[in-house]
């Protein structure tokens, strides 16, 4: 039978130094925490991510920690919360789209702007963690094999026109302009 220490490759008994190191390498007692793997941090998709997109992922991870790491896929973060975290409000939609395109974030349910008591916020999920509904981690960020592929995905998001730019808003006509347009009143009559 193989001794327990031999399976670790150490070949000897656990030293008090190893035990102290293990005890100090843990998250602080009673403090929420989340994990990011080294391979994820070194991966092309992570290094190609903009600061705003990284902050989006960080804020969703904080929300995950505030629910004891048990609500992935049901994480609600509002634009006001993203803004309070330090992301410019105008940057939020593209940063979310970038985090999704690079495979670190899922938008489970796209919310709508709140008006009065009507509140339908977006719901998010982190792709490297299993979801509350028992969906396994997708790790979509691994699909990028080169930095160029990841940067191309970021450029596609950056070059998309903003929704506000696509919809040209016109000011509402005044009552007089509306009547003139319908031909019910002509000036000088």
The answer to whether residue 29 is domain-embedded is no
Average pLDDT, rounded, for the chain: 80
* SS3 category, 65: helix
Structure tokens at 59: 């804020």
3-state helix/strand/coil string of the chain: CCCHHHHCCCCCCCCHHHHHHHHHCCCCCCCCCCCCCHHHHHCHHHHHCCHHHHHHHHHHHHHHHHCCCCCCCCEECCHHHHHHCCCCHHHHHHHHHHHHHCCCEEEEECCEEEECCEEECCEEEECCCCCCCCCCCCCHHHHCCCHHHHHHHHHHHHCCCCHHHHCCCCCCCCHHHHHHHHCCCCCCC
The answer to whether residue 100 is domain-embedded is yes
Considering only residues 123 and 6, tell me which one the structure prediction assigns the higher pLDDT: 123
The answer to whether residue 66 is domain-embedded is yes
- What is the extent of the structural domain holding 85? 34-160
Residue 95's pLDDT is what?
A: 95
Considering only residues 34 and 154, tell me which one the structure prediction assigns the higher pLDDT: 154
Task: With cut-offs at 50, 70 and 90, classify the pLDDT of residue 125.
Answer: very high
The answer to whether residue 179 is domain-embedded is no
Structural domain total, the chain? 1
Whose tokens are 């009065």? That residue is: 116
Residue 182's pLDDT is what?
A: 55
- From the list 108, 111, 94, 85, the residue with the least C-alpha distance to 49 is 94
Residue 180's pLDDT is what?
A: 54
The answer to whether residue 90 is domain-embedded is yes
The string of pLDDT tens digits covering residues 74-84 is 999 999 999 99
| Element of type H or E holding 107 | strand 105-109
The string of pLDDT tens digits covering residues 88-103 is 999 999 999 999 999 9
Q: What is the pTM of this model?
A: 0.71
The answer to whether residue 73 is domain-embedded is yes
> Can you tell me the distance from the alpha carbon of 128 to that of 130, in angstroms, rounded to the nearest whole number?
7
The answer to whether residue 93 is domain-embedded is yes
The answer to whether residue 180 is domain-embedded is no
Task: With cut-offs at 50, 70 and 90, classify the pLDDT of residue 143.
Answer: very high
Structure tokens at 102: 């690079």
């Amino acid at each position: 039978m193989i001794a327990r220490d031999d399976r670790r490759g150490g070949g000897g008994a656990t030293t008090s130094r190893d035990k102290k190191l293990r005890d100090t390498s843990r998250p602080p007692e009673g403090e929420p925490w989340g994990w990011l793997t080294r391979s994820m941090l070194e991966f092309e998709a992570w290094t190609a991510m903009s600061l705003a997109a990284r902050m989006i992922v960080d804020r969703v991870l904080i929300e995950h920690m505030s629910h004891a790491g048990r609500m992935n896929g049901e994480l609600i973060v509002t634009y006001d919360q993203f803004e309070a975290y330090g992301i410019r409000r105008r940057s939020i939609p593209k940063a979310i789209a970038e985090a999704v395109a690079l495979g670190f974030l899922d938008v489970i349910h796209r919310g709508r702007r709140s008006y009065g008591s009507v509140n339908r916020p977006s719901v998010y999920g982190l792709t490297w963690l299993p979801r509350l509904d028992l969906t396994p981690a997708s790790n979509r960020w691994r699909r990028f094999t080169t930095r160029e592929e990841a940067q191309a995905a970021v450029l596609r998001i950056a070059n998309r026109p903003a929704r506000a730019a696509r919809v040209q808003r016109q000011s509402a006509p005044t009552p007089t302009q509306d009547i003139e347009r319908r031909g019910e009143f002509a000036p000088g009559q």
